[in-house]
Amino acid sequence: MAFALLLLGSGALASAAMAAGAGQGEAPARAAGAPLRVEAQIQPQVPASASEVKLSFAPIVARTAPAVVNVYAQKTAQQRANPIFDDPFFRRFFGGQGGPGLRAPERVQRSLGSGVIVDPAGIVVTNFHVIEGADEIRIALNDKREYEAEVLLRDQRTDLAVLRIKTEVKETFASIELGNSDELAVGDLALAIGDPFGVGQTVTQGIISALARTQVGISDYQFFIQTDAAINPGNSGGALVDMAGRLVGINSAIYSRSGGSIGIGFAIPVNMVRVVVEQAKGGSKSVRRPWLGARLQRVTPDIAESLGLPRPTGVLVQDVVAQSPAAKAGLRLGDLIVAVEGQAIDDPESLNYRFATRPIGGKAALAVNRGGKEVSLVVVLEGAPETVPRDELVVRARSPFAGATVVNLSPAVAEELKVDANATGVVIYDVDDNSPAAAAGFKPGDVVVEVNGEKVARTRDLEQLVRTPLRVWRVTVGRAGRTITALLPG
């Protein structure tokens, strides 16, 4: 049976799929002559008082539900009268518009999600995918009042967005206190609040099923809280609340066969949410995060055996960027990082999360296994530097690169696009839909190394090389550690 990962706000299925199978193990046989264990039985008890009969989550809901809102996003998209005009050749032939009289009416796309007010001034957190590409965003409170909202910050890498409710006069809104997701334990009770399927605000109850889920495939920073509280399409951006009425996560996705809840939901930990909110409130339009400056590798069972470890744990340092915080702290090739600030590390995603939730300007203590000995290192938390200006360029000249936005590669760009920081060249930052660059297969993060045998060191080099139209282009790019050379039509 196949499971699909469902982003709850837009209802779009992510490409990741999970094969599920469950086997039933047999109970171990009792050794001959061993005493028979008698498990203690919990006897049913009659409630001793009226207060025990009235035990309820209602007080928590009454305190938190007013701060959970509906987020309505609207996007106006142009659709063509005939699909043939999606072909770049026909668009060029008809002047890029499909020809006179062939332009179809605009189509309005709408999405529904949830959000959480985290500041009485009307600061709202939701998922990036709920408001992605939206021209207009409206917020509806649970008391039926509606407001327009503006976007303060979009952070696709965490799938978070921060909005502000627009009001003509200053208002104070109900808000939820931010908790500490590091204090959660598997088995803790939790409430999910949102607007599933657009039926209206709904509260469901469950437990924390797992922590530090790092192989979900939703965003760049994977470190999710798993819960069995029922969450469904429309819950995206809604609140996961603990028993103290504090926000501990933003509900984001579920695994599902049918599009509905089967008890496997994922939430972004509030410690990550806090970082994004604080930077948005500080006026930043993007999130700056600490940069380690090291390439890391997951420890497999084979690697663990070769290192003499009892089990796979930590992350192995494959490379250290010169003059990076890792290099300055004394981190070396072959070191095994096993903890950050006392928090155990089991994979690169865990380390990335621990760094991403700490403030720039501070320090982080690393516990390192070096040749079987424990070593303590202190890393100064710095943002990745832009050692060369980005010099952003949108390629317009007729070539396979037309429609691509390229920038000069630096540690900051490499960290942002998940590119090897030691790579050199020009990196593709964005690709327009239906452009020649998209048709050629270029993707954000591709490093352009050579064009027709000429090295590309800066964006202006590429601009110069594409000025002369050619029938065939020989292009070499670096992608995910591989070098690809291809002949592309002009």
Question: In CATH, what number is assigned to the domain containing residue 138?
Answer: 2.40.10.120
What the block records as the tokens of 277 is 């909110």
| Judgement on whether residues 107 and 247 belong to the same structural domain of the protein | yes
Report the alpha-carbon distance of residue 193 to residue 308 in Å, rounded.
47
* 135 classed as catalytic: no
Find all residues with CB under 8 Å of 211, minimum gap 6, and list them: 184, 185, 186, 225, 226
3-class secondary-structure state, position 449: strand
What is the domain range of residue 335?
Answer: 290-383
| Judgement on whether residues 5 and 143 belong to the same structural domain of the protein | yes
Selection from 188, 327, 324, 318 nearest residue 248 by Cα: 188
Residue 47 falls inside a structural domain: no
Residue 181 falls inside a structural domain: yes
pLDDT digits (tens, 9 = 90+) for 253-281: 877 666 777 788 899 999 999 999 999 99
* 432 classed as catalytic: no
CB atoms within 10 A of CB 329: 20
**Domain endpoint, select from 383, 401, 416:** 383
* 242 classed as catalytic: no
Identify the residue with better confidence: 94 or 238.
238
Show the beta-strand stretches assigned E in 56-201.
68-80, 103-119, 123-126, 136-140, 146-155, 160-165, 189-194
| Judgement on whether residues 250 and 310 belong to the same structural domain of the protein | no
Are 236 and 8 in contact by the 8 Å Cβ rule? The answer is yes
| Judgement on whether residues 247 and 225 belong to the same structural domain of the protein | yes
Q: Which of 181, 236, 261, 324 is catalytic?
A: 236
pLDDT digits (tens, 9 = 90+) for 50-97: 666 567 888 899 999 999 999 998 877 555 445 444 444 444 444 444
What distances in angstroms separate CA 359 from CA 155, 296, 347, 380, one per listed residue?
17, 21, 21, 10
φ and ψ at residue 186, rounded to 5 degrees: -60, 130
In percent, the amount of the chain with pLDDT more than 70 equals: 80
φ and ψ at residue 314, rounded to 5 degrees: 75, -175
The mean pLDDT value for 432-461 works out to 90
| Judgement on whether residues 185 and 128 belong to the same structural domain of the protein | yes
What integer pLDDT is reported at residue 41 of this predicted model? 52
CB atoms within 10 A of CB 63: 16
Q: Which of 159, 335, 347, 446 is catalytic?
A: 159
Q: Which of 10, 111, 114, 129 is catalytic?
A: 129
What integer pLDDT is reported at residue 277 of this predicted model? 95
> pLDDT band for position 107 (50/70/90)?
low
What element of type H or E holds 414? helix 411-417
Report the alpha-carbon distance of residue 345 to residue 28 in Å, rounded.
33
CATH code for position 315: 2.30.42.10
Report the alpha-carbon distance of residue 141 to residue 147 in Å, rounded.
8
Query: What is the number of structural domains in the chain?
Result: 3
- In sequence order, what DSSP letters do the residues of 230-256 get, joined into one string? ---TT-TT-EEE-TTS-EEEEEEEEEE
